[in-house]
A = this chain, B = another copy of it.
Amino acid sequence: MFMSSYQSLTIDSAAALVKKLGLFDESESLTSNEIGDGNLNYVFHIKGTDNSVIVKQALPYAKVVGESWPLTLERADIENRALRIQGTFSPHYTPKVYYSDKDLAITIMEDLSHLEIARTGLINGQDYPHIARHTGEFIARTLYGTSDFALGPQEKKKLQHTFSNPELCDITEGLVFTDPFFDAETNDFEEALRPEVESLWGDNELKLHAAQLKRLFLTSGDALLHGDLHTGSIFASETETKIIDPEFAFYGPFGFDIAHFTANLLMNALSRAENRREPLYEHVTTVWNVFTQEFTRLWQENNTEAFADTDGYLEWLLDDVFKQATGFMGLEMIRRTIGLAHVKDLDGIEDDTARLQAKRRSLSIGAHFVKERASYSSAEQLVAAFKEAVK
């Protein structure tokens, strides 16, 4: 459906496009570079005299394997529309979108190259003192704002209808919720971990809990999720935080985004010396406390639900979200250790013994959170259990 008018941008045609759109003066001299390190998109960085933009174009195939793995371009449209909605509810933490073209799968947006990908910074020892507060506010605002509570069920269903995203959900359903629990071809783990991995494949209790969490992901349409909110989807500095790349956006369960953020914080903690972990523990408690406070504030300020004032409803909901998120967090720790997509935090530990210890801990702590999620009700408890497990 898109292919008829689609053609790939080049560094020259990308520069010509931004001029044609009036984002720069006709006479201005521009530099244009392709800086994408992913394999699904072109990313052009275009710089003029005192202004710069990013031109992102989705590729109709995975670049890494030539044209052999076709992907629909609809993900660019999903990302563009998700950015605009997130920008409405959380402008401080969302890149500005200047222009989009659905047929060409192009989004032109704010240049964030003065910031750093948070995963990279965390690995290099940055602590980003505000990242957890900002991310907690982002998640609370974007999720609450697109929920039944804020929009009312009719408007919510209309918005939900525009964010059906089967193709990218399929990736998550496979790589996060399924493949790590079976001897699947996509799995990728160090041979030294085979005993732990085979024991995991044989752990029926764990698989039953994974199946329950997968069912939530497949069937619960609480709010418009980011859908891939790990530390590689965050640009950060000491003062700023921007959440990027919401191409996995769809209506899913409230607990999913915060779970991925906290899982990736804890995996970074596993890669750090013991005396450098505290900032990450604080991020885990802060993101939960800020999320809870902000969700509560929005609930009290603007709520279309007749039962909003029913004693215990908000508390029940938040506790339910916390428990499901604890499970999702555990699943993310497992799949980032033995599934297809690893994290550099763990893979980058050079010492074999230390790296294998960190990965074994990621697996065992992840499995514990999945199985025991119902017994947790605060981030402080999660952190205490984590500390105990890495003592």
Contact = CB atoms under 8 A, between A and B. Distances in A.
A307 B181 CA distance: 9
Interface in A170-192: 170, 173, 178, 181-182
Interface in A307-360: 307, 310-313, 316-317
Nearest to A184: B306
A218 B212 CA distance: 19
Q: Say what secondary structure dominates the interface of chain A.
A: helix
Interface string A135-154: 00000000000001000011
Nearest to A161: B164
Of A160, A165, A204, A219, which is in contact with the most chain B CB atoms at under 10 Å from its CB? Answer: A219
Nearest to A317: B215
Nearest to A160: B164
Contacts of A389: none
B170 A312 contact: no
A313 B211 contact: yes
Contact of A169 (B153, B164, B207, B306): B153
Interface string A197-213: 00000001001101110
A65 to B, nearest CB: 21
A165 B167 CA distance: 23
22 contacts: A148-B218, A156-B218, A157-B165, A157-B166, A160-B164, A161-B164, A182-B306, A207-B307, A207-B310, A208-B310, A208-B311, A208-B313, A208-B316, A210-B307, A211-B307, A211-B313, A214-B307, A215-B317, A219-B220, A219-B221, A219-B222, A221-B221
